[in-house]
């Protein structure tokens, strides 16, 4: 199958590209390299069946060229920073909603049959039910980022029903692993490299969320896409996460231990009752029963995924 991966030079995208190439698909990547890196895909650069387009999806013509001739689009291009919502809401709109609309607009005049989208747990906001199932309502995001992801989901559903393609939407927990270049583990490692004696922790450290390793994420996406293709649903939704969860304070302990340090922890206190920033969901654990029933389960729990990621980012595991 010939596929387009938007954001394919990014963190999750490049791991997905590895898996797709390894299973013999033809892969075209569209990436503006704003957060991703050519290094992440360099092993495929001179490979038959691999094509790289550097381009910004805010440009409609770029997107139109990228979808030409592909059967499926994996849409991972996005700005993943929840925390910038109060300073740069327009940027989150453009890099999550506008680019998705440009993609849908290009897809309606093309032969693309499937769209796979990486949405986020943040669409649930401060969910009243934990673990939160896919049919939880009302969806009330508390960040501009979560709102942008939900808007993108809604547009995808509307376009899929109107223009006869099928869409699979993943609501991801906190995804971590090799090549990630943002988020709590990356931040803690960098802070401790700068000052090994003290670690600043945003919020009160009790923020508790599910973390899923990128290898489990990509396995889940491809397994469930295979199942989705055999089914009939026009649009379907799956949470991908873990059955357990871990606090930011516990993550700080694991990072310190793996770096061989015993820093003093300095909690900033944060906003709105100990959140790291405005819009930071404090408690997040998704129900993954639907994905499990379809035959997927994570290999690493949240604690194992965090420890493995710390080792990967420190350079121990390639
Ligand atoms: O230096 C830091 C950085 C983060 N945190 C805390 O660590 C937790 C996790 O923060 P991340 O930045 O790692 O991740 P987010 O929960 O904000 O969001 C991540 O997971 C979401 C889904 O759950 C989205 O998909 C999003 O794109 C992705 O970055 C937060 O509670 C935050 O307050 C700190 O205490 N100190």
The pLDDT, as a whole number, for residue 208 is 98
- Ligand 1 centre from 306 Cα, in Å? 13
- Ligand 1 centre from 26 Cα, in Å? 33
Q: Which atom of ligand 1 is found nearest the CA of 183? A: 13
Query: Under CATH, to which class is 177-210+243-283+300-316 assigned?
Result: alpha beta
- Burial status of residue 60 (CB atoms within 10 A of its CB: 0-12, 13-18, 19 or more): middle
Active-site amino acid positions: 145
Q: Which atom of ligand 1 is found nearest the CA of 276? A: 33
Q: Ligand 1 in contact with 127 (CB < 6 A)?
A: no
What does each of the 318 residues of the chain score in pLDDT, given as a tens digit? Answer: 999 999 999 999 999 999 999 999 999 999 999 999 999 999 999 999 999 999 999 999 999 999 999 999 999 999 999 999 999 999 999 999 999 999 999 999 899 999 999 999 999 999 999 999 999 999 999 999 999 999 999 999 999 999 999 999 999 999 999 999 999 999 999 999 999 999 999 999 999 999 999 999 999 999 999 999 999 999 999 999 999 999 999 999 999 999 999 999 999 999 999 999 999 999 999 999 999 999 999 999 999 999 999 999 999 554
The domain defined by 2-175+211-240 folds into Rossmann fold (3.40.50)
Helices H / strands E in the chain, number of each: 10, 14
- CATH 3.40.50.720 residue ranges in the chain? 2-175+211-240
Q: Ligand 1 in contact with 120 (CB < 6 A)?
A: yes
Q: Ligand 1 in contact with 207 (CB < 6 A)?
A: yes
Handedness of CA 203, 124, 189, 299 (dihedral sign): positive
Global pTM value: 0.97
Q: Which atom of ligand 1 is found nearest the CA of 175? A: 20
Whose CA is closest to atom 25 on ligand 1? Answer: 120
- CATH 3.90.25.10 residue ranges in the chain? 177-210+243-283+300-316
The answer to whether the beta carbons of residues 243 and 288 sit under 8 Å apart is: yes
Interatomic CA distance for residues 280 and 76, integer angstroms: 21
Output DSSP code: residue 95. I
Q: Ligand 1 in contact with 183 (CB < 6 A)?
A: yes
Q: Which atom of ligand 1 is found nearest the CA of 187? A: 1
Contacts of 39 (CB under 8 A, 6+ apart): none
- Ligand 1 centre from 187 Cα, in Å? 10
- Ligand 1 centre from 281 Cα, in Å? 9
């Amino acid at each position: 199958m010939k596929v387009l991966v938007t954001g394919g030079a990014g963190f999750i995208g490049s791991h997905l590209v590895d898996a797709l190439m390894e299973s013999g698909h033809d892969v075209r990547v569209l990436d503006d390299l704003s957060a991703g890196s050519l290094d992440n895909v360099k092993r495929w650069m001179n490979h038959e069946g691999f094509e790289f387009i550097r381009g910004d999806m805010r440009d409609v013509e770029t997107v139109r060229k990228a979808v030409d001739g592909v059967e499926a689009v994996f849409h991972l291009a996005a700005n993943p920073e929840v925390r910038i919502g109060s300073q740069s809401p327009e940027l989150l709109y453009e890099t999550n909603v506008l680019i998705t609309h440009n993609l849908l607009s290009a897809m309606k005049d093309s032969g693309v049959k499937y769209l796979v989208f990486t949405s986020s747990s943040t669409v649930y906001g401060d969910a009243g039910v934990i673990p939160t199932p896919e049919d939880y309502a009302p969806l009330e995001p508390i960040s501009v980022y979560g709102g942008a992801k939900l808007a993108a989901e809604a547009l995808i559903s509307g376009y899929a029903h109107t223009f006869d393609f099928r869409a699979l939407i993943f609501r991801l927990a906190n995804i971590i692993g090799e090549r990630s270049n943002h988020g709590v583990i990356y931040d803690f490692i960098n802070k401790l490299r700068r000052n090994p004696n003290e670690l600043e922790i945003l919020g009160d450290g009790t923020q508790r969320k599910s973390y899923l390793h990128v290898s489990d994420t990509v396995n889940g996406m491809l397994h469930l896409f295979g199942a989705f293709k055999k089914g009939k649903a026009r649009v379907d939704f799956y949470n991908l996460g873990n059955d357990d969860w871990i606090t930011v304070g516990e993550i700080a302990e694991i990072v310190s231990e793996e770096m061989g340090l015993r820093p003093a922890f300095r909690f900033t206190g944060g906003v709105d009752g100990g959140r790291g920033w405005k819009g930071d969901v404090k408690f997040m654990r998704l129900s993954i029963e639907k994905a499990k029933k379809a035959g997927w389960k994570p290999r690493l729990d949240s604690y194992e995924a965090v420890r493995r990621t710390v080792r990967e980012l420190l350079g121990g595991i390639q």
